[in-house]
Chains A and B, each alone.
Chain A
Amino acid sequence: MLSVKNLHARVEETPILNGIDLEIKPGEVHAIMGPNGSGKSTLASVLAGREDYEVTEGSVTFGDEDLLELDVDERAHAGLFLAFQYPIEIPGVTNATFYRSSINALRTARGEDTLNGAQALKVIREKMTAMEMDPSFLKRSLNEGFSGGEKKRNEMLQMTLLEPKLAILDETDSGLDIDALQIVAKAVNQMRSPERSFLVVTHYQRLLDYIVPDFVHVLYNGRIVRSGDKSLALELERRGYDWIKAEVNSPAV
């Protein structure tokens, strides 16, 4: 589904990604872990198409499309979804309007009929109930006055509404308590399917107790330095990141 080859990216003059290779097949859940500054969020942002980052080398293929050639909205049309680490507030645009526009933008891109106000509302309310979100949120401006946990839940709600092929979660667990964490995990787990993949970017192993990954990769200095299965995450939890850094800096035999 996603094929990242030798990806290099920088912000202004500072290189951040220094050759990322990653293959994600349909149905797989991959976790990206790493110390602060390793480039985890940059990878997520580059995949989503944020213009602040410049790709200097490498390629990314999503399905059969060259992802780097697609504009931000086109990537969403192709089935990509990024759950933001810091979801932005947009006063004056209500959650309801935003969800409906988004649902219909994707339906149009897929050649489907759009939903009218009432139909959209029905779908949205159903998913909100499943996410244990208060329906009064609909009238409020997008993310305005939301706590960190509520914003993350809003991201998950959007994910369930838009049904992406590949969902990238950018440190979705940061700042969440156990209850909120479980709701996020529930949303992800309910959407797991053979046709859908997840890329979970996280600093802490805790989330991976609830969203069990098929593969775990460790990012350090802009490169994937170690890959394994979920037991790698447990080892990081026990030993921290220093042993990885030590291994990388003094190559062992």
Chain B
Amino acid sequence: MQAPPAQPSILPVTDSATDSQHWRACFAERPDLLQGPSRLVEFRQQALDRLDKTPFPTRRDEDWRYSDFTKYLRQDFLVRDALVPDIQRADFEIPDFDGFVLVTVDGAFRPALSDDVPGLHISTVEASLEQEPYAFWLDRTLAELHAPAENAFVALNAAFAKTSLFIAAERNQRLGKPIHIIHLATRHAGPQMLCSQVFVMMPQGAELTIDETFHTLGEGKLVFRNHLVRAGLSAQARLEYRSIQDEDRRDIHLSNFAADQQAGSKLDHARVDLGGVAVRNNLSVSHKAAGLETSLNGLFFARDRQRIDNQTFIDHAFPHGESNELYKGIVMDRGVTSFNGKVMVRPDAQKTNAFQQNDNLVIGQHAEANAKPQLEIFADDVKCSHGATIGQLDEGPLYYLMSRGITRGEGLAMLQRGFLLEVLDTIDSSSIRNYVERKVLDKFNA
């Protein structure tokens, strides 16, 4: 298909990754990024221009108070074109999963490794950008990546992502089986900035369930995964989207999910964060009509020196919207976590029901959890609540377990697992629940 990637030159060691010139230099070594639909090339160059003007967020930015990613940027990140090593797909599949499997390698969709999905349009941004009925939606969605509110990581992602997965359903289509996207990243001799994207277009009445997992291959240095997902739900569409991340402990995971919803649509989003040395997830949902439902659930578990930060934003701009958030996390050893749940209820959004709950279990003297519910309510006929708890396990349940002969150690373990697994109950798939439960147990026993 294309010429083998050129050997990149070694760049001098500086704080360069926070400097957009570093990324322009990386871009210059990738002539393939100037190929493809002209609109896409334009978008990439727009992204680079934005990068010149948009500094990477630091602790001083309110939204990034708890996640200082600038220190992770002080490396000579390279942005390689995708290699395709020998891949055994079965190694990454979910046991007892009854559905379709798609594979991306270093951000690029690989049809040869993926299942055929009858009736669904599964393709790449390049192939679909000039094809109706997808062009209009894709063009607008890509343009929105350059909005002033988007941070520098989004700009970086927009500049370098290539051959990204694009999934589009048809009106009133119900696939009936879920889709599992396996995102593979390859390691290289130097730290890799991997920019990947998934676009999901849901027309009227369409229903889909998508699970995505992340894995790395090969020997080499760390991977900084800069992952972006954009979903559009038309009227009455229903999307279940679940991101399950158990990255290697030296890798970085930064994700940016945004969805907008039209009338009568339902979005069920779930996040599981177990791996990575530093994790940051931005999740934003925008209500574009009345009578919608949004459900955001998250489970995170940080230990050793992991940092896991979640920020969500729900924009209730129309009446009769429902949103429900439940994020639960455990932090132990020297881990640090944060949850910042923003909800905006605009003046016209009467009869909104918005509920948010964040529970954090802190184990040990050196672990730290931060909770920041942030509700801005401008309508007066609404039901909104938020709750955040940070603390240790109640003695009551432990006493009850011990009174039945269960030892203190085993009782604590049961309660800690139970604390997290309550979020799993919101996941409507036994194969996914078992998969996640297994990983959580392994992490407790590590």
Binding site for B on A (CB under 8 A): 48-51, 71-73, 75-77, 81-82, 84, 87-88, 90-93, 97-98, 101-102, 105-106, 109, 141, 158, 162
A169 to chain B, nearest CB (A): 13
Chain B 379-406 residues near chain A, CB threshold 8 A: 395-397, 399-406
A31 to chain B, nearest CB (A): 21
Q: Is B421's CB within 8 Å of the partner chain A?
A: yes
**Closest B residue by C-beta to A72:** B402
Q: What are 25 of the A-B contact pairs (CB < 8 Å)?
A: A71-B402, A73-B403, A73-B405, A73-B407, A82-B403, A84-B403, A87-B400, A88-B396, A90-B397, A92-B417, A92-B421, A93-B415, A97-B414, A101-B401, A101-B404, A101-B406, A102-B404, A102-B406, A105-B404, A105-B405, A105-B406, A106-B405, A158-B404, A162-B404, A162-B405
Chain B residue numbers with a CB within 8 Å of A91 are 418, 422
Contact-size category for B = 20 to 34
Bound complex: CA A151 to CA B399 (Å)? 17
Q: Is B155's CB within 8 Å of the partner chain A?
A: no
Given contacts A93-B414, A102-B406, A105-B406, list 11 more A-B pairs with CB under 8 A.
A71-B408, A73-B403, A88-B397, A90-B400, A91-B418, A92-B418, A92-B419, A98-B414, A102-B404, A141-B418, A141-B422
Q: A48-B403, A87-B400, A91-B418 are in contact. Are A73 and B408 (CB under 8 A)?
A: yes
Q: Is B63's CB within 8 Å of the partner chain A?
A: no
Do most interface residues of chain B lie in helix, strand or loop, or is the interface mixed?
helix
Chain B residue numbers with a CB within 8 Å of A49 are 403
Bound complex: CA A82 to CA B411 (Å)? 17
Q: Is B367's CB within 8 Å of the partner chain A?
A: no
**Closest A residue by C-beta to B407:** A73
**Closest A residue by C-beta to B328:** A92
Bound complex: CA A101 to CA B406 (Å)? 7
Chain A residue numbers with a CB within 8 Å of B405 are 73, 76-77, 102, 105-106, 109, 162
A120 to chain B, nearest CB (A): 14
Q: Is B42's CB within 8 Å of the partner chain A?
A: no
The contact of B407 among A90, A105, A162, by CB within 8 Å, is A105
Bound complex: CA A106 to CA B401 (Å)? 12
Chain A residue numbers with a CB within 8 Å of B403 are 48-49, 72-73, 75-76, 81-82, 84
Most buried by A among B396, B404, B422: B404
Which 9 pairs of residues, A with B, have the shortest CB-CB distance? A92-B418, A76-B405, A105-B405, A102-B404, A93-B418, A72-B402, A73-B402, A92-B422, A106-B405
Q: Is B420's CB within 8 Å of the partner chain A?
A: yes
Chain A residue numbers with a CB within 8 Å of B116 are none
**Closest B residue by C-beta to A89:** B397
Bound complex: CA A49 to CA B399 (Å)? 9
Chain B residue numbers with a CB within 8 Å of A73 are 402-403, 405-408, 411
**Closest A residue by C-beta to B397:** A90
Bound complex: CA A141 to CA B395 (Å)? 18
Chain B residue numbers with a CB within 8 Å of A75 are 403
Bound complex: CA A74 to CA B411 (Å)? 13
Total number of residue pairs linking A and B with CB closer than 8 Å:
76
A99 to chain B, nearest CB (A): 9
Q: Is B410's CB within 8 Å of the partner chain A?
A: yes
B10 to chain A, nearest CB (A): 51
**Closest A residue by C-beta to B423:** A92
**B415 in contact with A50 (CB, 8 Å):** no
Chain B residue numbers with a CB within 8 Å of A141 are 418, 422
Most buried by B among A77, A93, A158: A93
B432 to chain A, nearest CB (A): 17
**Closest B residue by C-beta to A50:** B399
Chain B residue numbers with a CB within 8 Å of A97 are 414
Chain A residue numbers with a CB within 8 Å of B396 are 88
Chain A residue numbers with a CB within 8 Å of B397 are 88, 90, 93
Chain B residue numbers with a CB within 8 Å of A71 are 402, 408
B162 to chain A, nearest CB (A): 42
**Closest B residue by C-beta to A105:** B405
Chain A residue numbers with a CB within 8 Å of B421 are 92
A81 to chain B, nearest CB (A): 8
**Closest A residue by C-beta to B418:** A92
Bound complex: CA A98 to CA B403 (Å)? 12
Bound complex: CA A61 to CA B344 (Å)? 62
A113 to chain B, nearest CB (A): 16
Bound complex: CA A87 to CA B404 (Å)? 12
B148 to chain A, nearest CB (A): 42
**B395 in contact with A51 (CB, 8 Å):** yes
B54 to chain A, nearest CB (A): 42
**A101 in contact with B410 (CB, 8 Å):** yes
Bound complex: CA A71 to CA B406 (Å)? 11
Bound complex: CA A93 to CA B393 (Å)? 13
**A98 in contact with B415 (CB, 8 Å):** no
A137 to chain B, nearest CB (A): 16
A152 to chain B, nearest CB (A): 14
B53 to chain A, nearest CB (A): 47
Bound complex: CA A87 to CA B417 (Å)? 20
Bound complex: CA A162 to CA B422 (Å)? 27
B27 to chain A, nearest CB (A): 48
**Closest B residue by C-beta to A79:** B405
Bound complex: CA A72 to CA B396 (Å)? 12
Chain A residue numbers with a CB within 8 Å of B406 are 73, 101-102, 105
Bound complex: CA A51 to CA B394 (Å)? 13
Chain B residue numbers with a CB within 8 Å of A48 are 403
**B415 in contact with A90 (CB, 8 Å):** yes
Bound complex: CA A101 to CA B411 (Å)? 9
**Closest A residue by C-beta to B408:** A73
B328 to chain A, nearest CB (A): 9
Bound complex: CA A226 to CA B407 (Å)? 38
**Closest A residue by C-beta to B398:** A72
Bound complex: CA A91 to CA B420 (Å)? 10
Bound complex: CA A93 to CA B414 (Å)? 7
Bound complex: CA A90 to CA B396 (Å)? 9
Bound complex: CA A48 to CA B396 (Å)? 13
Bound complex: CA A88 to CA B394 (Å)? 11
Q: A73-B405, A102-B406, A105-B405 are in contact. Are A88 and B418 (CB under 8 A)?
A: no
Bound complex: CA A48 to CA B400 (Å)? 10
